[in-house]
Structures are given as structure tokens and as C-alpha cells.
Structure 1
Amino acid sequence: MSALRGTGSNMNGISDAAFLQGAFIQEGVSPAPGVIIAACTLGDDDDTPKNRVGVRRQDSWLEFGLSAEAICSVDATADGLAYVLGENGTVVRFDWSRPTTRDELRASRKAFGNAEVADLGPLRRIRVIGSEVICAGSVGQAYCLHHDELEALPKLLVNGQDVTIEDLAGTSRRDLIAVTSDGYAAHFNGVEWRVLDLPAKASLTSICTLANGRQAISGKNGTVMVGGGTQWSVIRPIDVNRSYWGIASHHEALYVAHLAGIDRVSGQDLVSLDIEAADELQFTVLRGGHEGVWSFADRTIGLIRDDRWHTSMK
């Protein structure tokens, strides 16, 4: 089980600059209007990884630290619970809604260890899907946090071979789609995985569920696909050498992020979003929220609404 530690004696919130100082944002989420949760690594010491997790409300951050393993993913529910995933399988649950001090935030944490992961390989992603918390990783392993225990789901294998799950979406553990860096997507029905027949072959990085119930997938080689089941369409790429690392939607708008910027899906085409001073920012992870689509990368946090980059922290 990962060790938990505090990050300071000051009980008050800290500024954006103080929170982001020395931090690299691995992932973030906005579970409610005006709320941001960010999971960050500190430094690059793989032997003794350090992390910072923050909740931003009322223009300041409450934060706590984690040690023993690098964190890689975070998700949260609208009713107040958040979940951080460590590469070695530890899931830390905490209350983002009620704490008003660092001590209260730290006291709300509970860690769940997963001894299997050290032997199998690191995990990559955690998602709240329906009412369930599911995490998955590098050899197709997946787990559901059920009654405060991490329950193993069947491994995703393709032609008998391990694959690396990069992202997850769906409605429950009985209706789950995983995308892999090996170029496959697969549907889990609660019993077994079924590999989907996609119209494009590329390393896949991210998936999101759209308002109409369909899914959208992004990947390398300029890959963006929209659909579900056996029916998928490929969005025409701007640049086949462009790698997309994040995809998210807000209402009818769908966006994908590459390292240098963000593109919007317009019909069957992609259009670059006009972002002022984009060369001074970073773009990787996109997450849909109540206010728009949030962008998290390195030390940049931005909000996309009505096709405009409204705010950023860097």
C-alpha cells in the first residue's frame, strides 16, 4: 500500500503558482462547476517517486502528497469522491467536496493496494464508469474497486497476446470499451472481451463517450474515429504525422489534443483551434466537464468553451 504524507503545515489554500511549482500534471478532472482536481508528479526520480494531488475551489488549491509510486491518473464523481491511481496499482480515494483545510483533505484519504500489479506490469488509467471505479494497464489487466477491494476482471488478450490498455469508457463494468496502444479497441460485457472491428489501424490513446451514447477514439497517425458497435467512421486527418493524446466532448463539440495544440471535429473534418500563444502552452489530456472541455498537461490547465480557450494556468 502506498504511503501517505502531508505536504506542509499551512492549513490554508495555496495559489496556482505555488501548486504548479515543480509539478508535472499527469491528469486532471473537473467533477463540478468551479472545481478542478489535478494529479501531478514531482521531479524525475523513479526510485523514490513524489507526487502532488490538488483540489482547486474558490481560486485556491488544497493539496496533499503521495509517495512510494508515481501517480498516473485521476477521476472523480459529482457527489464528492475522487480516485487517484498509482502505477503499481494503489488507488487512493478522497473527499474533494467537504474539506476546507489541508488537514481535512488529508484525513479523508483511504488507500487500496494491489499486490498483483508489481508482478504483472504498471497500470495506466482509472475511470469512474457509471457507479463503478475501474482501472487498467500495461498487459491488459483490469480491476474494479468493489466494496473497498480491487476485484480483478478478465485480462484483455488479442490473439493470445498481451496488449496495453490506455483508456476506458462506457456505462458500467458490463458495458465497457478499452483502447490500446497496440491499435485495438475491445468491448467488455461483464464476462468476456470482444475485439472491435475498427476502420483504421493505429496506436490508440484515448476514448470518450458522446452525448448521443456513441464513442470517440483518438490515436497516432492523425487518427480520430466516431461510432459504436460495428459502425465507425474515420474523421479526415489534418496531418497523418500528428499524434493525438486526448479526446473529449462538451454538448455537441468534440476536441482532440496533440502536443502543439487542439483540433475540433467539424463534420467529417478536423479544424485547428485558434489558441493565443499556443507555443507557450502544453496540451495532452482532455476531459469533458460541466463548463466545457478541460485541458491538462505539464503545468498548463485550460478551459475550452464555445470553441475558445477561455482560461489557463501555467
Structure 2
Amino acid sequence: MAAYSDSGASAEIPRHFKEGRKEIMLITVEEYKDVLEKYFVVDCAIRERNIFGFALDRVFSDKEVEEEERNKWDRSLRPKRLAVFYRDDAEGERLGAENLGNWGPLQLGAMTVPTSQFLLYESHEDRVYVIGSGRDEFENPIDPRKNPDAPVHAGVRRIKTFHGKAFLAGGYRGFTERLGPDSYRSHKTLVGGYPLSHPESGREGFVDFDMFSETDIYAAGGKGDVWHFNGSAWRQIQLPTNAWLNTVCCGGDGMVYISGYEGLTFMGRGDNWKQINAGGIYLGWKDMVWFEDRAWATSDNGLWTIKDGKVEFRNHLLPSEISVCSGNLYVADGVMLMAGLGGACFRENGKWHSIFTAGQMGKLLLDEAK
């Protein structure tokens, strides 16, 4: 397995590339062709240190797009897959996939409590699908329009793992902890908000959340809508902005980082906040996590870090096989996983490791076809 420093130095010569390259991938061309060739990563999760999951959406050819437009098909309902990478398995046997059909947008998470499984949420039909540890099954829909006992108000926007447990946040200030199959500890009655029919209800969170502990949780979304849970009650936090918010990260430095439109970022805790980034980042960040000694934030356009209140663009400091993987982040069990349109990689013990890059796999497939 190759190891990469932040400077891009490689410790090994690759197996899957032409002589002279400094790149290695942990899946084979055959695995890529079978599972990933016509798909791209829309979300990722870590079940355990050596088991990674990828929610995949189908790439359509120009001809397929024309047919889609001609028939007025919903492009969000293209075929989906769930791919699982087992890095401890033998080379050539590390990647498998489950075909999901024409599903809507996906959110992927994982847990080891009470069972080691991936948890997949699909927004079109509000499906909940779990897989792992010898089980593969649907659970009850998680939207109250289809399930009166659903633990959130409407949909799921984020799934994260904390101490092996899965926590979920969603629209209209929804927040819940998964206890087991079809079992949740819901916060629906604890968080205030407008009735769902109220015209202002769509301006509320939550889009993201993070926690220092289960009695110290921050959640945000909507137009400057930030809330804190102290173990018994939620209260609204006055963040000095009315911008749409995207990400929340509780840092190992004791600070909370909240970002919004175009990367507008605040750092603080409780009722004390300061702006540390004015924005200007195209579309802002999709994910923000704490790993090692800093916050990491990503979008499809790159990777940034925040340390000591300083925001830094990282792409030029990373090997190309790492920087192209920007898009989604997930942290669990001592590993940070990053995956997106260009591929997937992970960081562990201060080193980067490339799982695959779509560009290099495409070149290898062209070479095979010659």
C-alpha cells in the first residue's frame, strides 16, 4: 500500500500503472470495470477501519441524456448502486456492489452499534436500507408523510457516526439517534419551529450537525438557523448571519466551525462567534469534519483545511490522485475517507492512500482496448 505525505512524495512504485508513474490504486481495473466504470460517487461512509461504502449514481452518455430529455424522465432517478470496499481482502477481491434501481438522491452513513452496517437513505421514496453483518433489508420509511412514527419531520440531509452510533438530521429541525432496526430516539418534540405548512418553515435547519458528546450537540441549516442541545433541551444560537448554512464541525480544539453560502465560515461556541472566512468559494462546502489536528472541508471543487482560525486551500499541496477525490468526507474509527467525481482515497496515521482515480482507470481501460 502506497503512503503519501502532504508534499506528495510516494513511498512505493505502483503496480497498476506504466513505469515511471508515482501512483498506486487499491482496486484492479477489473473491479473498476465491474462496479465503477459508469458510475460516480455521491456520498461515502466508513463502517469500520477497513470497510468503506460508496453511494453511486449513474453517468449517462450523450445519447442516454438525449433519450432522458426526450422522454422527460427525472434525472435524479437514474440507476444507483451501493459499493463496498474491503481493504483487508486480497487484491482483486476488495470491491463489490449492490444494484439499487432507479432510486432518488442518496445519503449514506454507517454504525457499529448495535450491529456493524451501512445505513442508506433515499429521498424520493424515503427508503431506509441497511446492509452488513449478514443482513440486507429495508426498514420503515423515515418520512412522517409515509410513516406517522418517523423520527424526523421531513427527510434526511446528513448521517454521521459517533462512538459507533448513527445519528441523522433533516429538514424542519429534525434530529434523531438510531437505536436499532426501526428504532430511534427522536428529538422532534424538543426542537421548536414553525408548522410544516408555515411559509417560513423552509428557512429552518437542519442540513448538518456535529457533537462533542451526546449532551453537547450543534445543528444548523436554513437561513442562519443554529441550535445547541445540552442533553435535556435545545436552544437557538444567534449566529451573526442570515446566509444559508451547509456544514457543522465540532473541533478537537474545542471550537465549532459552521459554514454557509460560498464558504462563509464562523468559528466559536455557545454565544461567542467570529467570522474566519468571507466566502467566495463556488457553491460552498458539502462536508466539514475534524480529523487529526484540524477541520477539513470539501466540495466537488477541492479540499480546504482550517487550523488556528486560518482557512487554507489544500489542492496544490496534495498529489493529483488525492486532490481529484474531493467531494465528500466521512470520519470514523481513526480514518478519514474522501470521495467524489474523480475517485476515492483515505487518510490514516498522517498519510494519504489512493483507492482509485477515475481518470487513470479510464486511461488503463483505453490501453486495454487497443
Say whether 1:218 aligns with 2:259: yes
Taking the aligned partners of 1:278 and 1:116, their CA distance within structure 2 comes to: 42
Say whether 1:284 aligns with 2:320: no
Q: Which residue of 1 aligns with 2:144?
A: 116
Per mean C-alpha deviation after superposition, the further-off stretch among 236-245 and 201-210 is 236-245
Match of 1:53 among 67, 79, 82: 82
Please report how far the alpha carbon of residue 35 of structure 1 lies from its aligned counterpart in structure 2 after TM superposition. Answer: 2.4
Q: Which residue of 1 aligns with 2:48?
A: 32
**Matched positions, count:** 293
Q: Which residue of 2 aligns with 1:176?
A: 217
Give the % identical residues.
15
Taking the aligned partners of 2:322 and 2:48, their CA distance within structure 1 comes to: 29
Higher relative contact order (CA 8 A, sep 6+): 2
Say whether 1:257 aligns with 2:298: yes
Say whether 1:136 aligns with 2:172: no
Q: Which amino acid aligns with 2:122?
A: G
Where is the strand percentage greater, Structure 1 or Structure 2?
A: 1
- 1:212-251 maps to which residues of 2 (within 5 A)? 212-237=253-278, 239=280, 243-251=284-292
Q: Which residue of 2 aligns with 1:19?
A: 35
Please report how far the alpha carbon of residue 115 of structure 1 lies from its aligned counterpart in structure 2 after TM superposition. Answer: 5.0
Q: Which residue of 2 aligns with 1:149?
A: 182
Taking the aligned partners of 2:296 and 2:76, their CA distance within structure 1 comes to: 36
Q: Which amino acid aligns with 2:130?
A: R
Give the 3-state SS of the residue equivalent to 1:116 in structure 2: coil
Taking the aligned partners of 1:131 and 1:312, their CA distance within structure 2 comes to: 24
Structure 2 residues without counterparts, runs of 5 or longer: 1-29, 61-73, 148-152, 359-370
Q: What TM-score do you get using the length of structure 1 for normalisation?
A: 0.75
Taking the aligned partners of 2:321 and 2:354, their CA distance within structure 1 comes to: 12
> Is the CA contact (8 Å cut-off) linking 2:47 and 2:117 kept in structure 1?
no
Please report how far the alpha carbon of residue 91 of structure 1 lies from its aligned counterpart in structure 2 after TM superposition. Answer: 2.1
Q: Which residue of 2 aligns with 1:89?
A: 126
Pick closer, same or farther for the CA change 1:263–1:132 going to 2, 3 Å.
closer
> Is the CA contact (8 Å cut-off) linking 1:260 and 1:279 kept in structure 2?
no
Taking the aligned partners of 1:213 and 1:94, their CA distance within structure 2 comes to: 34
Taking the aligned partners of 2:220 and 2:180, their CA distance within structure 1 comes to: 26
Where is the helix percentage greater, Structure 1 or Structure 2?
A: 2
Q: What TM-score do you get using the length of structure 2 for normalisation?
A: 0.65
Q: Deviations for 1:6-38, whole angstroms, at most 9, x for unmatched residues?
A: xxxxxxxx7134322222322112243332111
Q: Deviations for 1:228-275, whole angstroms, at most 9, x for unmatched residues?
A: 222334324574666122212222122211332112223222222123
Pick closer, same or farther for the CA change 1:287–1:279 going to 2, 3 Å.
closer
Taking the aligned partners of 1:86 and 1:260, their CA distance within structure 2 comes to: 25
Structure 1 residues without counterparts, runs of 5 or longer: 1-13, 99-103
Q: Which amino acid aligns with 2:188?
A: P
Please report how far the alpha carbon of residue 167 of structure 1 lies from its aligned counterpart in structure 2 after TM superposition. Answer: 1.3
Pick closer, same or farther for the CA change 1:114–1:260 going to 2, 3 Å.
closer
Please report how far the alpha carbon of residue 302 of structure 1 lies from its aligned counterpart in structure 2 after TM superposition. Answer: 2.5
Larger Rg: 2
